[in-house]
Structure 1
Amino acid sequence: MFARVGRTQPSFGPRFRGESRPDVRRGPRVGFGRPSGFSSCHPVRARGARESATIAARVQRELVFRIRFGVPPSGVSQKVETQSDAVEVFVLMTLYGADLARIQAAAFGDLAERAAPELIALLKASSIPVRRVYDVGCGAGVTTRALVEAGFDTIAVEPSPHLLAIARTAAPAATFLEVSAYDLELRPCEAVLAIGEVLTYHAPDVDADERVRTFFRTVARALAPGGRLVFDLIDADGPPLDAKSWRSEEAWAILWETREDRAAARLTRSIETFCREADGRYRRTTETHPVKLFREADVRAWLTDAGFDVHTARAYGAVPLAPRRVAYVATRTASAPSSTS
């Protein structure tokens, strides 16, 4: 998930100013401030060609928020009537498609890399021997690889098939499941990790609070007494998170804009990627990630109700988290209901 970026990159850079669209022959020179359009991965078939880009952008915005994280459709086809013509738009919808997954693996694994030793130390300090660990939202497999190398029986969970393919290469000895956190059937275990804002991805029409509460109860049933659930969320309170930023390498560029809705306790991340193809042109893709914010007091109460003792921090050991991120270490109490499987 793009949330695994961790620290914010440098502010909006001059390299991208003043450009309204990418120059596909010379490289990914782009800018913010225009409606999100469609790339070659979002083909538009229309007789009213002039209207197609505007309609496509509108349809994309309407459809993206109907997607439930973990079960993205392969595509959605919708006809839109205009004054002059009927335009058929086909939108390929996904979170962490092939291009963003590639960039995530190449450039945004720093939090996972730095936090992995701290997480392993935390698991080894548990009051019970830790054998089986779930790495929920494993992304490109950075934490998964570290867990395997530390000797844990590691089950890596990731809804994006593109990220999962990268993770399989990074940690071939792990067991992999292509499923979302909320559809996961947990086996008895001693630890569950969800590192990098994994539990924040929720469409606006979903009861995110109830989903997360249910996840906590599911984990509590699977964990042995003394087992741990470790994760991080973005707090609903604190300095504004609105931002624009970018990052690039020779073969790719990525731009993202974060918009916060305080009243709804939500973020929207609009992401554009540009990846160089064999002929030197750049393929453009866009993704919109809906993110839910949570208040620490609420999360603590949900964990306590599920049967956990809770400790919170703004870091994993010596590794600080980005602003407004809260790390939760929840230890299952003996009174929590156990899994019967």
Structure 2
Amino acid sequence: MNKWYKEDLAFIHNDGFRDFALKSAPGILEIFAQNKIHDGLVVDLGCGSGLWAQELIKADYHVLGVDISESMINIARTRVPDAEFRIDSLFKTDIPLCNAVTSISECISYLFDADSDRHLVQLFWRIYNALTAGGVFIFDIAEKGQVAPGTTTKGFTEGEGWIVLVEKSEDREQKTLTRRITSFRKIGEHYRRSDEVHQVRLYEATTIASELCDIGFQVETTRSYGQYVLPKGHVAFIARKPGS
């Protein structure tokens, strides 16, 4: 479980990449309210460092957060002691009866331990069966077209005591985006380097919506969570289980 988002990258992500979770939170809470979900358990798959979990606890929900990264979970447990966190694969973890399931910032797209679309459909079924009647499943995915064919993009982000370099390339045939990530974090007087390679499955929104509908969800797609517009090449889904 320590292969991805190891200690330094987890620290950097928590310190410098908070916007997606925090700016998405008000819009997702509004979706809950629109669906009359004002309390109860929310299962957050790919919970990261617990930023969204913290907002849920503030809004008086119960939270179970699941993430494959031990380092991310360690941060989350410190940040949100009132929530429950589990180090596990979101594709394999047991999902208890709940009022809502979330998976934000393209967590479902990551190919950390799932290598086929079949795993995604199986997850959709497990979420549907775990949700109470009228419950909602809210998530977003990455789409094709992130990087121009045959090209590689490079960029960097820096913060206090760290810098992260990211090289991205896209394989249109395999429908994957590869991110090669090199991070440097200051430890004492020196900087420590760590390297990770992340692969993301690039989906088509119409395919995902069709799969959700086939299971029984009522599906809506959106390019924003409330006032927060998603980054280019991302689409969100609001999948509601009928019955309430």
SS at match of 1:181: coil
Measure, in 1, the Cα distance between the counterparts of 2:146 and 2:53. 31
Matched, 1:177 2:83: no
| Count of matched residue pairs | 242
Measure, in 2, the Cα distance between the counterparts of 1:269 and 1:140. 20
Measure, in 2, the Cα distance between the counterparts of 1:177 and 1:204. 16
Measure, in 2, the Cα distance between the counterparts of 1:99 and 1:316. 29
Counterpart of 1:166? 75
Residue identity matched to 1:120: L
Distance 1:196 1:128, change over 3 A: closer
Counterpart of 2:62? 153
Matched, 1:110 2:5: no
SS at match of 2:94: coil
SS at match of 2:20: helix
Counterpart of 2:7? 98
Residue identity matched to 1:110: D
Deviation at 1:249, TM superposition (A): 2.5
Pairing 1:262-301 to 2, within 5 Å after superposition: 262-278=172-188, 280-301=189-210
Counterpart of 2:233? 324
| Cα displacement string for residues 289-321 of structure 1 (whole angstroms, at most 9, x for unaligned residues) | 011011111101110111101000111111001
Distance 1:240 1:314, change over 3 A: farther
For structure 2, the residue ranges without an aligned partner over 5 or more in a row are none
Deviation at 1:253, TM superposition (A): 0.9
Measure, in 2, the Cα distance between the counterparts of 1:239 and 1:96. 23
Counterpart of 2:142? 234
Q: Is the 8 A contact 1:244 1:256 kept in 2?
A: yes
Distance 1:159 1:310, change over 3 A: same
Matched, 1:213 2:121: yes
SS at match of 1:322: coil
Q: Is the 8 A contact 1:123 1:130 kept in 2?
A: no
Deviation at 1:255, TM superposition (A): 0.3
Q: Is the 8 A contact 1:237 1:295 kept in 2?
A: no
- Which of the pair is proportionally richer in strand? 2
For structure 1, the residue ranges without an aligned partner over 5 or more in a row are 1-70, 73-93, 336-341
Deviation at 1:121, TM superposition (A): 1.5
What is the CA RMSD across the aligned residues, in angstroms?
Answer: 1.8
Pairing 1:1-341 to 2, within 5 Å after superposition: 71=1, 94-127=3-36, 129-202=38-111, 206-207=115-116, 209-237=117-145, 240=148, 242-278=152-188, 280-334=189-243
Deviation at 1:129, TM superposition (A): 4.9
Measure, in 2, the Cα distance between the counterparts of 1:249 and 1:203. 26
Q: Is the 8 A contact 1:246 1:254 kept in 2?
A: yes
Q: Percent identity at matched positions? A: 32
Deviation at 1:149, TM superposition (A): 0.6
Deviation at 1:334, TM superposition (A): 3.4
SS at match of 1:182: coil
Deviation at 1:236, TM superposition (A): 2.4
| Cα displacement string for residues 89-119 of structure 1 (whole angstroms, at most 9, x for unaligned residues) | xxxxx10000000000100011111111111
Residue identity matched to 2:200: V
Deviation at 1:158, TM superposition (A): 1.0
Measure, in 1, the Cα distance between the counterparts of 2:134 and 2:16. 35
| Cα displacement string for residues 6-53 of structure 1 (whole angstroms, at most 9, x for unaligned residues) | xxxxxxxxxxxxxxxxxxxxxxxxxxxxxxxxxxxxxxxxxxxxxxxx
Q: Is the 8 A contact 2:167 2:180 kept in 1?
A: yes
Q: Is the 8 A contact 1:236 1:295 kept in 2?
A: yes
SS at match of 2:91: helix
Q: Is the 8 A contact 2:219 2:238 kept in 1?
A: yes
Q: Is the 8 A contact 2:4 2:196 kept in 1?
A: yes
Measure, in 1, the Cα distance between the counterparts of 2:28 and 2:185. 33
SS at match of 1:206: coil
